[in-house]
Chain A
Amino acid sequence: MGVVIAHGDVSRALTQGLFIQCLAHVNSSTAPCRGCHLNSLGKITAKARQMEKEAKELFRSYLTHQGLLTSELRQLCDEAIQWFPTENIRDQPKIVMLQELYRTLVHMNDALENIRKQQQVLSTPGAALHGKLESTQWAVKGLLSNTVCTLCLEGVLPNSRRTPERPAATNTFQQKIDGCKVLGNYSKFLKKLARGSGKKAPQALRDQRKRRKGTKRKEGSSRS
């Protein structure tokens, strides 16, 4: 637990530092949140779509590599992790969604660090799983950066409140199962994130249609 918290602190410090830097830029120049793309939310969605596939592959690779494909062991991974949002965060208001995303990604970054450490015992040094875990951690860090940017553009400070965690398991088998749970939940989380809102999609579609009708009318009136 101590190690996890330490990593969490580092991540949090990094992101807050980045945010402070963004704010500093906002204050000091006409281009606040320097380095952040204006369409950061779009970037997040695009990145999430890309990561969804990787997360799915990582989960499958983990199950295979750790021998968790048998039914008794596989079902242990289905348990929900407390710090993953139970609902689709895309259904929530944008700021709330971003804050939830930020909080989840910070957890995920710590969890990945933990899993990588556990795999030092549970994998051979050259195993492909090490590379996939590292790659996923870099992707999570990238998405976290985009999220911080989006929040910065929205002028919101990232929420530093974290959900308290259960003590890390000392039993390596339980660590393996915990890692499996994390990766399973992460895959599901990204699936929801990448596919967008379940409730607001019709509203968005209606808005889009309205916009299209409006442009057609304008075109028609201009022709007449």
Chain B
Amino acid sequence: MDHFVLQTILLYTTLCFSTYQGQVPETQEFLPTFLKVSRNLPLQRLLVEWDVSDLAHQFELEMVFDIQVSQTEEMNVVWTLAVAEHTKWLTDCRTVKFSGTRRNVNSGEYYNTTLNKLNKTLHWSWDSELPLECMSHSVRIRSMVNDERFSKLWSRWSQWETVLGLDTSDDYTPYIFPEDKVVEEGSNVTFCCIGGKDSRILNFLFNYTDYYYPDSNTSQRNMVITMNKVLHAETPGIPAFCNISGKGSKNYSATHLFVGKPPPEPKDLYCDTRNMTTVTCTWNPGEDTYLYGPYSTKYHLFERFSQKPLCYPETETYLEPIRCSWAIGQQMIYNLTLTAQNPLGERSAYFVLDVAHRVHPFPPSDLSVEDMKATEVSLYWSMQPKHKAIKLLCQIENRHPSGQVELHNSSVVQSNSYPHLTLGGLQPFTNYAFRMRCGAASHFWKWSEWSKTIRVRTNEAAPSGKLDVWREVTPVLGGWNVTLFWKPFPDFRANSGGISFEITWEKLEKASEPEHISISASQNSTTISIDNHSYKISMAARNNITSSLPSVIIISRATDNGAEEEVDHTDLEEERVNGTVDGIYISWKATNAFHGYIVDWCNFPRSQHCDFQWKRFDFNTSSCLINSAAFMPGVRYSFRVYGSLANEDFFLGKKVGYTKELAPRLNPQGEITEMTSHTVTITWDSYPINESQPGFIRGYHVYVKTMEEECSLKGSTKHALSDGTVLCKYTIENPEEKRYMVKHLMPETTYALAVKAYTGGGETPIDAYIHVDTLHDSKIYLPVLLVMVHFVLISAVCFWKIKWMKDCCCPEIPNPNKSKALSCNGLKLNSEAVMKLSDCIPDTVVLENTSEANTLQLWSHGTILESESKVINPSWVYFVQNEEGDLMCTQSAPEACTSFENLAYSSQTALGSSLYQNLWMSEKSEPQLSILSYQPQHYIEIPSKDTVTSLREITEREGSLRYISQMEVPRSEVKLSNLPHSTEPLEHSSYKIQTVLGSELVTSTSDEDNHSKNSSTSSNSTVLLLLGRH
């Protein structure tokens, strides 16, 4: 405080003295003096020095300096700085015109300085974004005392102090700046091209392809351009190239821009010692900096305790790890600093290293085996370092031939010792591969690399375990052929190189000399022959040492189960089992009677060497899924199941199945064996349904292709093919049935037939048809033939009785009254004659039941009961032969004889259908045919009884009632038209024409009518068939 007061008093005294002398007025200015400006080109820095009067120093005034920096000769200010007390910041912004471009400089900076009495020169520097060589830079300064005791007025500006740029030189050499600059990716870089004297910049090329041109307004000797956010290039060094025209010998200036990144932090840094002599630190450089050669990242490792650098490794490439090694002295703990540095910056990592915790031993050497036995070996090895013992823990890897790996740890050993380890539990006569590695027992850091591998084979021993033996028994004359198959059980081990199989068999019932054979190791099956006795067969493996325990199976004699099944059970019904892609599922009934079960099968059942397989199951297993890589779809596999009891095996059943059924490959060879006009019988007797098929044959499909678009065959189903063709399909579900009769076919028609067998896998598409033409239908001419026969017979009778016929029907005087046929008493057929019913005396009256009347009333003889006259309306007139042999007209009822019934009309239901049946006979029309055959007999009998009915009418009735109704009835009607109650025939006539054909075809529902319908259908079919033939 006292010091401050003293200073203030002194200052005022000095100022008063100065005022008195007229030198320091109240507006005292301290003009900056001795202004000097220079450049640091590598740093692109402008260095400014100046001074103020000694008085300012003497009073240690705080001053503010306003500094202006200008570029170009026009003194455009690009920077103003106020150097003042540090509590106040100034910011200035000036716009400066460059010769090539326009830029804003917006920045401010404070620089805290306090004058002192030592009269030190004041310094200030300014870093330029634009290379300082590009143009002239000038600086001027003014000052202001920053003290409340003084008025705050700026002094006058100092004179401009200038450093000239190369654009002012008289040199003809072109330049470009900055040269070979290294910048960080993403930064902005300002280039300037300077042409020689009287030169002109034509263009600027950056990175091979980007062209820039100078403003036409500028002098064009100097071009400044800023490249923003530059990126690294694939090839280091981005060229910046200026084309220049002028007097100089060189018409370009060019440089490279190296764009990269600051060094990344080293990765995966670790240090360790391998021999306790040297320590090596390793790290990865990290990501690429894109800077190479002299610009690449440099490292140095510095130890802080000893204050010594340890090494200076360089990166050749960022991909390879970097190593740094130094010798270990007494120092075991290091405080390390790893620094990575390149032109764009540096990164450091700090860590402390305790060498005792970072021991990474060398791999063990001289690994050897001694004291080899069948199940154990002793391993010996040596380690490092020898000169300085450390405790090591070693690990032995034992690799089995199967690839299984076991690791065994040794006890702690000294590195300078010669330790060994005994490994037990090995398999005899087995190849093993041993290798080992070691690590520090205390402060484990890292395992050594593996030692070299040694391969050894343990010594031989007796075979262990048993053989799994199975058999297949085939009957031969006088005994059996037993084929033995064997494979090792999982626990079986040969334990030797030379192995053979010993087979011994002997009779069970009576003592006999056992037979013996030896089989080489390469075989896994053999066949022996035995007689019909029961045998015990033993099998063992033998090596150079001794034999294994024998496996025993018993083959019982033929009467026993064991062998009997081979004979009898082969005919047992096979049980079909289902298969999937995962295998074929087999099941059996498990009982307590057996110790286990065996399933055997062939992997290739169609091959001679069928690759016989078997599998054993324990006593409580009742099913299994059998699978094999050899199983194929479409192959039938046969599995035999046995129960095992005390070395004896009992056949339990046979299963067959497919992993997947396929459609039959072979088609049944269909053959037409029978054929009629309406049926075709096809057979395929030779088609196999055995195991050769790729699936179980479930049945057959018979396909019939007609000329019609739709399937219309009775009993068939439609089957549409992919091409749109519709077939008739018949299914035969019994695979044993290999014959089928296709019915309901049309005569003289072409059909295409095909037979396909189907399995669980379906059937194959139809690829061929058998074409067949049905036969001609001869029955169609039968009615015509019958009519012809009748006609001939009647004609013959007529001819034979011609005289009688003439007398009877055509007397010499043609007078109806003389006709015996119409010899009713008093009946006159002339115009006025009226037949009196009382004159008609019937000879006989026949009483018929209603049903008969319904069916055969037309042709019944005798009278009709009154009670039935209502049903059978109208009543009938009977022509009855009188005693004289003439026909007499008799009256059944007083009213019944008043009119004639048109025969055709009155029988329209019964007779009409019969007529139709007569014309169109079918197989089902036999009952009707019997009626028809009966009816003509009446007609034949009529003449024989000298009836008066004309032969022609009879014939016509029999042949065609239609003919009768058209020709005869009208004529009769003409004659009878005047008779009372005779008007109905006319109505019948008109009705009959419509109904004879129509009603029978459409409305009838009786059996006969059904037959008629069938017949009519047949008739229609015939027409269609004819069309079809066209």
Contact = CB atoms under 8 A, between A and B. Distances in A.
B241 A125 contact: no
Contacts of A176: 237, 256
B252 interface: yes
Contact of A123 (B208, B235, B255): B235
Contacts, number: 63
Given A70-B208, A176-B237, A125 B254 contact: no
A66 interface: yes
Contacts of A86: none
B179 A171 contact: yes
A124 interface: yes
B236 A173 contact: no
B293 A120 contact: yes
Interface string B208-245: 11000000000000000000000000111101010100
A124 B292 CA distance: 7
A75 B256 CA distance: 18
A21 B141 CA distance: 75
Interface string A44-81: 00000000000000000000011100101100100000
B791 interface: no
A67 B239 CA distance: 9
Contacts of A70: 205, 208-209
A50 to B, nearest CB: 29
A164 interface: no
Contacts of B237: 121-122, 172-173, 176
Interface in A81-135: 120-127
B295 interface: yes
A66 B583 CA distance: 68
A214 B234 CA distance: 64
Interface string B232-270: 001111010101000000001011101000000000000
A120 B241 contact: no
B618 interface: no
A138 to B, nearest CB: 21
Tell which of A76, A125, A126, A177 has the most Cβ of chain B within 10 Å. A125
B311 to A, nearest CB: 21
A163 interface: no
A16 B251 CA distance: 42
Tell which of B234, B237, B294 has the most Cβ of chain A within 10 Å. B237
B731 interface: no
A210 B294 CA distance: 62
A174 interface: yes
A212 to B, nearest CB: 54
Contact of A67 (B235, B258, B295): B235
Interface string A171-184: 11110110000000
B998 to A, nearest CB: 104
B241 A172 contact: no
A120 B180 CA distance: 14
A76 B292 contact: no
B256 A173 contact: yes
B235 A72 contact: no
Given A125-B292, A172-B256, A72 B241 contact: yes
A66 B235 contact: yes
A70 B234 CA distance: 17
Given A172-B256, A174-B254, A124 B208 contact: no
Interface residues of B, number: 23
B868 interface: no
A172 B292 contact: no
Contacts of A121: 236-237, 258, 292-295
B650 to A, nearest CB: 77
B317 interface: yes
Contact of B236 (A124, A126, A177): A124
Contacts of B968: none
Contacts of B560: none
Contact of B241 (A66, A73, A127): A73
Contacts of A73: 208, 239, 241
A70 B205 CA distance: 11
Contacts of B316: 125
Contacts of A66: 235
Tell which of A70, A72, A122, A126 has the most Cβ of chain B within 10 Å. A72
A22 B316 CA distance: 40
B252 A72 contact: yes
B252 A126 contact: no
Interface in A137-188: 171-174, 176-177
Nearest to B179: A171
Interface in B144-179: 179
A171 B393 CA distance: 60
Tell which of A123, A127, A172 has the most Cβ of chain B within 10 Å. A172
A189 B254 CA distance: 28
Interface in B286-309: 292-295
Contact of B208 (A67, A122, A125): A67
Contacts of A126: 317
A153 B803 CA distance: 163
Contacts of A172: 180, 237, 255-256
Interface in A18-64: none
B189 to A, nearest CB: 15
Given A121-B236, A123-B235, A72 B243 contact: yes
Contacts of B293: 120-122
Nearest to A126: B317
B963 to A, nearest CB: 115
Nearest to B209: A70
A166 to B, nearest CB: 13
Interface string B361-388: 0000000000000000000000000000
A63 to B, nearest CB: 12
A126 B319 CA distance: 10
Contacts of A125: 292, 316-317
Contact of B252 (A65, A76, A123, A127): A76
Nearest to A66: B235
Nearest to A127: B235
A66 to B, nearest CB: 7
Contacts of A171: 179-180, 254-256
Nearest to B318: A125
Contacts of B179: 171
B861 to A, nearest CB: 131
A75 to B, nearest CB: 10
A76 B208 CA distance: 14
Nearest to B317: A125
B243 A123 contact: no
A173 B205 contact: no
A72 B204 CA distance: 11
Nearest to B288: A124
A172 to B, nearest CB: 5
Q: Nearest 6 pairs between A and B by C-beta?
A: A120-B293, A121-B293, A125-B317, A173-B254, A172-B256, A67-B208
13 contacts: A66-B235, A72-B205, A72-B243, A120-B293, A121-B295, A122-B293, A123-B236, A123-B292, A124-B236, A125-B292, A126-B317, A172-B237, A173-B254
Given A76-B252, A124-B235, 15 more contacts: A66-B235, A67-B239, A70-B209, A72-B241, A72-B243, A121-B237, A121-B294, A122-B236, A122-B293, A123-B292, A124-B292, A125-B317, A171-B179, A171-B254, A176-B237
Interface of B: 179-180, 205, 208-209, 234-237, 239, 241, 243, 252, 254-256, 258, 292-295, 316-317
